[in-house]
Structures are given as C-alpha cells and as structure tokens.
C-alpha cells in the first residue's frame, strides 16, 4: 500500500508535470491578460488533479486547499491534507522557476505535520520527508549571510534586523561578510534556497495562509532547519480561519542571533 508520504510526493510531482505542460503549451504569455489566464488555468487544473487523487486514495480524510471551498468539518477530522496546488502563482505566470506545489498532512490529535512535499517542477526538484538527509552544513564563512524575504511584502523592520544581525555575527566571530536580503517567489522555493545552501533564513511577518506554509514547514523540519513563529513558538495548523500570522525558517546555528535581532529591531 502506498504510504501517505509516497502519495504526497507522487501527487505533487504529477501536478507539477501538469503545470509545466500547461505553461509550455499555453502560447505566448507576454501580456497581462494572457498571464492571468494562465495563472487561473494552472490553479484550477492542479487543484482538480490533487483533489481527485487524494480523495480517491484517502476518501475519509479532509482536504484544505487554497482553491477549494473551506468546510468547518475539517476541524473535527482526524487527518487533514493541506494543499497549495500552485504556490507562487504570480511567478508561474511570468514564466519563472520559483513556483511550487505544496502537499502536507496534518494530524490534529498529535499536532504534527507528516507526508510533506514541496515540488519545484520548473527546477526539476522535489523536496520530501522521504528524502535521506544529514545534519545541515555549517553556516557559510566565505559569503554574506542571506535572508530570504517576500518581494512585495518584506518585514518593515527587516533592514534594521539585517544591520543588527550583521553586527552580532561579526562580534561573535561567526561571519564577517554582513547580511544580504534576497527575494524569491513561492514559500516552498524560499525554503529550498536555504536547503540548497544559497540562503540561511527566511522571515515573513505580514501573514499568509496555512497552504502557503504547511508543506515547506514540514520539509524544513525534516531537513534539520528550525521553522517557527517569529517569537519561537510552533505554528499550529487546521485553524479557523486557516491563517498564519508570521514565520521564520532558519539554519539552526542562526536561530538565536536572528531572533535577538528581530526582537531588537521591533523594539527600536
């Protein structure tokens, strides 16, 4: 029998292939109307595929999807799939590679995420809790520390946070090259920047939804990163409404200095 994690990975990869095929065969997307039509088609097509596959394989489970109608019945369900059929919809319509398919399973009674997959189809890469991983590599000492943030909604205090963090890292002999801000689309793509060694933390404080967060959160934990609210408390899922106020995902060696810098920047 296919395990939950195998099902999650298989369905996410299938949806990713469909999204790539749809974009490749859609025609020119060099104007706003065409790009928006592609985005809508991608959201709808991936949602319908994922709903069909998960419902057929796990008919007793609830599903919370960005593109589906929410149902309070999920609050009493024993298992809830949390799905973003196309995270980074804007980037998808721009022909970019930083979009993803997110699938995760939340078990309310145990308060754990499992069966998490972030598929990055245009990058030919899938991150899953099935991946065999080791300890995170040490923080880099030959380049600046990099914090990934939203292109359109970065934290207002992020510039000050960067200053304070750079000072602390230099003072403590951890890194003397400063701190940079980089922007990437999908939350899954942002977390992948850390997993790929191109960045070291992700900070967001202007809110988003559970489907944006769940799969990247679970994958980050599996790889040994530290995801949490900005204050360090864990994110809980299957809430009503399904809203997440803020998030950090950090290399474990950066957790303390980053939280201290965020707190100091907010207070200044």
* Gap between the Cα atoms of 6 and 116, Å rounded: 10
pLDDT at residue 44, rounded to an integer: 97
Output the average pLDDT for the chain.
96
From start to end of 184-260, where are the E strands? 201-204, 208-209, 226-228, 243-244, 247-250
Question: pLDDT, tens digit, for every residue of 221-239?
Answer: 999 999 999 999 999 999 9
Q: How far is CA 185 from CA 7, 63, 91, 104, in A?
A: 25, 24, 6, 19
pLDDT-derived band at 29 (thresholds 50, 70, 90) equals confident
> Using CA of residue 34, residue 40, residue 46, residue 49, what is the dihedral sign?
negative
Judged against a pLDDT cut of 90, whether residue 268 lies above it is answered with no
Question: pLDDT, tens digit, for every residue of 125-141?
Answer: 999 999 999 999 999 99
Q: Which domains are seen in the chain, by residue range?
A: 4-128 (3.30.540.10), 145-267 (3.40.190.80)
From start to end of the chain, where are the E strands? 62-65, 80-87, 100-107, 112-120, 125-128, 145-149, 179-183, 201-204, 208-209, 226-228, 243-244, 247-250
pLDDT at residue 115, rounded to an integer: 98
Question: pLDDT, tens digit, for every residue of 61-100?
Answer: 999 999 998 989 999 999 999 999 999 999 999 999 999 9
pLDDT at residue 151, rounded to an integer: 84
> Which residues contact residue 261 at a Cβ distance below 8 angstroms, ignoring those fewer than 6 apart?
161, 162, 164, 165, 168
* Gap between the Cα atoms of 65 and 36, Å rounded: 20
């Amino acid at each position: 029998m296919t395990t939950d994690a195998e099902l999650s990975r298989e369905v996410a990869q299938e949806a990713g292939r469909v999204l790539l095929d749809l974009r490749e065969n859609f025609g020119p997307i060099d104007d706003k109307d065409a790009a928006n039509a592609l985005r809508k088609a991608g959201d709808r097509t991936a949602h319908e595929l994922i709903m069909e596959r998960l419902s057929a394989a796990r008919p007793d489970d609830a599903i919370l999807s960005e593109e589906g109608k929410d149902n309070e019945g999920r609050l009493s369900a024993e298992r809830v799939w949390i799905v973003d059929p196309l995270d980074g919809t804007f980037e998808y319509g721009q022909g970019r590679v930083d979009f993803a398919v997110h699938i995760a399973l939340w078990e309310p009674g145990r308060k754990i995420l499992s069966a998490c997959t972030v598929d990055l189809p245009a990058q030919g890469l899938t991150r899953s809790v099935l991946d065999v991983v080791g300890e995170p590599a040490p923080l880099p000492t030959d380049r600046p520390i990099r914090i990934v943030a939203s292109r359109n909604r970065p934290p207002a205090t992020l510039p000050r946070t960067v200053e304070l963090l750079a000072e602390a890292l230099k003072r403590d002999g951890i890194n003397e090259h400063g701190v940079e801000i980089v922007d990437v689309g999908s939350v899954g793509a942002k977390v992948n920047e850390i997993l790929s060694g191109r960045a070291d933390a992700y900070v967001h404080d202007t809110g988003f939804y559970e489907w944006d967060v769940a799969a990247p959160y679970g994958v980050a934990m599996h790889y040994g990163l530290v995801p949490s609210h900005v204050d360090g408390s864990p994110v809980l899922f299957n809430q009503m409404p399904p809203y997440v106020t803020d998030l950090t995902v950090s290399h474990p060696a950066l957790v303390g200095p980053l939280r201290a810098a965020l707190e100091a920047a907010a207070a200044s």
